[in-house]
Amino acid sequence: MNTPQQPILTPDQLDNLGLAVISLAKELWVVKDRQLVAEALLKQKGLLADLDTFQPDADLAAKLAAERQKFVKDLMAALLDKPSPNG
């Protein structure tokens, strides 16, 4: 027997989901903005061609990991925050 289809989120989590989508959109915009800035800088220095082949070293890999963890933490907060009368 196949696994029966069953709801995952409850109706009261819909608001969290909507807020999380906007948080993701904001993060996406920050990255998109940064990407355009970085590409403009790289183009100025003639380095744009190296973007796709670049491999992060240990320091950059650690920084990416830390940023990624914060990214996920913020996403989880948006999903899990209980509605509050303040903010």
Residues near another protein (CB under 8 A) are 15, 18-19, 22-23, 25-26, 29-30, 33-34, 37, 81, 84, 86-87
Question: What is the rounded distance in angstroms from the CA atom of residue 32 to the CA atom of residue 50?
Answer: 19
| Cβ nearer to another protein, comparing 31 with 65 | 31
* Smallest distance, another protein to C-beta of residue 5, A: 26
Residue 6 CA to residue 61 CA, distance in Å, equals: 39
CB 76 within 8 A of CB 29: no
* Residue in 39, 41, 30, 36 with CA at minimum distance from that of residue 70: 30
Least separation in angstroms between residue 12's CB and another protein is: 14
**Closer CB to another protein, residue 11 or residue 58?**
11
- For another protein, the closer of residues 5 and 44 by Cβ is 44
Shortest separation between residue 6's beta carbon and another protein, angstroms: 26
First-to-final CA distance of the chain: 46
